[in-house]
Structure 1
């Protein structure tokens, strides 16, 4: 939660942290925990950062009338729920790769949806142009993964994990999906705030799919660069062509060797989300499945964290996602033979 008592109560909820004894045995570690942010009102962790960002903006700009989002879906859903909660009109700009199902869900949440461009970057540019044309303070563009207020909101996830873990337990590894870098930034900020100077900092794994590997590419080159060939993965909500420069800076201050990319195939991401659904009866999208694959397919995690052992504690952020149905999961299973 925000430390600012003048803000209204947060729109996100405290989500469960649950352990998986079978998975800990499979991985050969002491414990595996899942942070179930798929249970947020918007269906994903985005509710944390975007809800907090809009609350702060409303406080500073009483004349706010319109909340604008550019999104592959999940950020737009969080913006729709938050904007409606604060009595604002909500406009969501999405690329034409956004599934019709997601567009209908955004509309049902109270948003007006504008389809523009073929990738997120193009939808975002059009949303930026609209806000610039409005009276100052009357419209706000909520970036899907940039901004300190947004990152502060996401960092509440780490504060909850620290409170929910058994007394004296500090995670050795934290796994999350990474698209533009907002969640990863929040996790790094939260972990450093809570554990720096008191405990060793956990290794943090940013997982993504082959066709959306913008974070891995930034680590390889040393700075963010556009993904050649665009997004080719089914994990559409990982679809930022380039990660945030800020997340790379935060990686350096956290300790770059301890913030590592993990790239999985679309098939592995689907295996991860199917295994997670079988164990916890919760549906998540392939972007989240990229992080889940790190544990459900043990060789993937061990390839980037070879130092894990029988004393290790692993926390995986089940970040959720709105772009999933039972029909889509069956389609993915058939496509990839899962």
Structure 2
């Protein structure tokens, strides 16, 4: 969906609204940039609609989703005048169901998680396949299943966000002053994103790889301060909530893990198993990229939601709030912690404050655990992945629960 950018700065028209990169010094001196992608599912829908093999056919899109991917599918399908059915788990909040219906989707609630909703969706598709479309008996329905995160076109759509970062992010201060540009296609030290099945993270890594390739070609014919490698790795902090931490558990085991269910309130992260590409990227990221997993409590996600609401006047859901809390926490006034350094099956065990909290008086921020030499000039981008499954009433409820001690379980000191 759309075209990919040439390295650094070439702008081309796109069939989506370019998402802004917002400097947010109120959140943190180190993590001061926010970006808001909404393009992955749209790219997948458009790829099917524009396929010559589907011309003249009555497509009907189906997706199993905890909410946000379904909402994107409904908007994209509606924009192209195609019907869309979204199958959601029974845990999906009424506010999200209403938004899906307002976007033009037919909503079916079934099952306790995405896998169960997906299985039910396939039975609906099988019953519909080949039947005549409404009002035109000559045109049979062609049901198309959209995977919410495990598809090349999903990652490709997300990757365009990185192209926008490449020309939106201003040069580093030392480069601007000297007029000499370093060997970085992306002058960024870290990117914080949440992980459900991993579509967002995979797309970010795909975009970084493309920028490095494209910039490398441009670099070959130019003079730069370093001509072989970028100055620093880009550290991706892949955040999850306890009870929706399929990636962290897979990294610890060294192979895919299926959760028995989703117990986190961050239902948009409710994939019981990540894509194989997600695990591969976490264990064996491409050159110039380091991936770190971080598991926090639902209460941490709520703190991030409230912080963003207070500082930026933006109301987002728990799946987004967890990224904000990753950028600014923990602080001495909120909790005490220690970094666990054990290795499991040859892999670093993911740090999980829910399980790994100690009684040390010295507190190290999450960012400092993962990004070497972090300082006030470091560039860390916080990806706000979606904010539909939230309301003012929900935020007020989370605030009250925090005031009553939510998050102090399991030895966590709030």
- With normalisation by structure 2, the TM-score equals 0.73
Find the aligned partners of 2:27 and 2:95 in 1 and give their Cα distance.
33
**Could you list the runs of 5+ residues in structure 2 that have no partner in the other structure?**
5-12, 131-139, 173-185, 217-228, 331-364, 407-414
Matched, 1:142 2:143: no
**Could you list the runs of 5+ residues in structure 1 that have no partner in the other structure?**
38-44
**Over 6 Å off, 4+ runs:** none
Question: Which residue does the alignment assign to 1:12?
Answer: 16
Question: Counterpart of 1:91 in 2: which secondary structure?
Answer: strand
* CA displacement, residues 248-298 of structure 1 (integer Å, 9 cap, x when unaligned): 223324259811111111111111111111111111100111111111215
What are the residue-to-residue correspondences of 1:81-160 with 2, within 5 Å?
81-133=75-127, 134-135=129-130, 138-160=142-164
Matched, 1:321 2:387: yes
Question: Counterpart of 1:249 in 2: which secondary structure?
Answer: helix
- With normalisation by structure 1, the TM-score equals 0.88
Question: Counterpart of 2:145 in 1: which secondary structure?
Answer: strand
RMSD over aligned CA atoms reads 2.3
Following superposition, the deviation at residue 202 of structure 1 comes to 0.4
Find the aligned partners of 2:292 and 2:189 in 1 and give their Cα distance.
13
Partner of residue 320 from structure 2, selected from 259, 265, 288: 288
Following superposition, the deviation at residue 70 of structure 1 comes to 0.7
* CA displacement, residues 49-79 of structure 1 (integer Å, 9 cap, x when unaligned): 1111111101111214211111000011001
Where is the helix percentage greater, Structure 1 or Structure 2? 1
Following superposition, the deviation at residue 10 of structure 1 comes to 5.0
Distance 1:166 1:296, change over 3 A: same
Question: Which residue does the alignment assign to 1:227?
Answer: 259
Question: Which residue does the alignment assign to 2:367?
Answer: 301
Following superposition, the deviation at residue 306 of structure 1 comes to 5.2
Distance 1:255 1:267, change over 3 A: farther
Find the aligned partners of 2:23 and 2:291 in 1 and give their Cα distance.
23
| Deviates most, 257-266 or 155-164 | 257-266
What are the residue-to-residue correspondences of 1:1-338 with 2, within 5 Å?
2-3=2-3, 11-25=15-29, 29=30, 32-35=32-35, 37=36, 45=37, 47-60=38-51, 61-62=54-55, 63-133=57-127, 134-135=129-130, 138-167=142-171, 170-195=187-212, 197=216, 199=230, 200-228=232-260, 230-251=261-282, 252-254=284-286, 258-298=290-330, 299-305=365-371, 307-337=373-403
Following superposition, the deviation at residue 83 of structure 1 comes to 0.7
Number of aligned residue pairs: 321
